[in-house]
């Protein structure tokens, strides 16, 4: 009875950590990375589509991206999506593809990115706490229904807290690594 609850909570912790790492990969740190733009939504074919469904995204050099749509008719829509994304990127349209030079980061932008890193890591910790609370409530319910003993509930909660601490450390380590990457000139 306890193991499925514990397993479900651990899966939720893992999802929170995975989401955090995906968000971190989207942060611009002065190096080109397809994940920077691949999730941007483009108005194409009568609906919203992510760029990665409409074009190939390549990294020809460490500080530039090349976006080549499979259908040239969506080139202008992709360019518009990048311009309005708020990423501060200015694509160069050569008629067949978009070239994006990734600007070097200013000290001010680096500090903004560190704040974003801290905000994202706090959101991950909140998700972990919410999953812990859900599992804790289930343990409490089982104890009240006399399906588990007091000792089993206490042991399960301790085991759960150990797992929470482990994932909070993983979040802190990921945030620290990303912060160092952002602040490295």
pLDDT averaged per 10 residues, the chain (length 185): 89 93 77 82 90 92 89 91 82 91 81 88 95 93 89 91 95 92 77
- Specify the residue for token string 């651990």: 10
What does the pLDDT read at residue 57? 92
Q: Considering only CA atoms, which of 120, 39, 149 is closest in space to residue 85?
A: 39
What does the pLDDT read at residue 29? 66
What does the pLDDT read at residue 38? 85
Query: Which residues make Cβ contacts (< 8 Å) with residue 85, sequence separation at least 6?
Result: 37, 40
User: Cα(103)–Cα(108) distance, rounded to whole angstroms?
Assistant: 13
End-to-end CA distance of the chain: 52
Residues carrying CATH 1.10.132.20, the chain: 2-25+106-183
What does the pLDDT read at residue 12? 94
Task: Output the CA angle 102-28-39, nearest 5 degrees.
Answer: 100
Q: What is the 3-state secondary structure (H, E, C) of the chain?
A: CHHHHHHHHHHHHHHHHHHHHHHHHHCCCCCCCHHHCCCCEEEECCEEEEHHHHEEEEEEECCEEEEEECCHHHHHHHHHHHHCCCCCCCEEECCCCEEEECCCCCHHHHHHHHHHHHHHHHHHHHHHHHHHHHHHHHHHHHHHCCCCCHHHHHHHHHHHHHHHHHHHHHHHHHHHHHHHHHHCC
Taking domain 2-25+106-183, whether its CATH number is 3.30.2230.10 is answered by no
* 31-101: CATH topology: Gyrase A; domain 2 (3.30.1360)
């Amino acid at each position: 009875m306890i193991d499925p609850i514990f397993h479900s909570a651990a899966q939720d912790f893992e999802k929170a950590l995975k989401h955090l790492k995906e968000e971190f990969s989207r942060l611009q740190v002065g190096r080109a990375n397809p994940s920077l733009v691949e999730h941007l939504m483009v108005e194409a074919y009568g609906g919203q589509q992510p760029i990665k469904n409409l074009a190939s995204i390549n990294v020809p050099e460490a500080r530039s991206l090349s976006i080549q749509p499979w259908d040239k008719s969506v080139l202008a829509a992709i360019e518009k999506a990048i311009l309005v994304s708020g990423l501060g990127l200015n694509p160069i349209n050569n008629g067949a593809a978009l070239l994006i030079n990734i600007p070097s980061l200013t000290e001010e932008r680096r500090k903004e990115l560190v704040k974003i890193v801290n905000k994202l890591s706090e959101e991950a910790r909140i998700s972990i706490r919410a999953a812990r609370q859900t599992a804790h409530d289930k343990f409490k319910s089982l104890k009240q229904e006399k399906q588990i003993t007091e000792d089993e509930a206490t042991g399960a909660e301790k085991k759960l807290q150990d797992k929470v601490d482990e994932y909070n450390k993983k979040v802190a380590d990921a945030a620290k690594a990303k912060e160092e990457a952002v602040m490295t000139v």
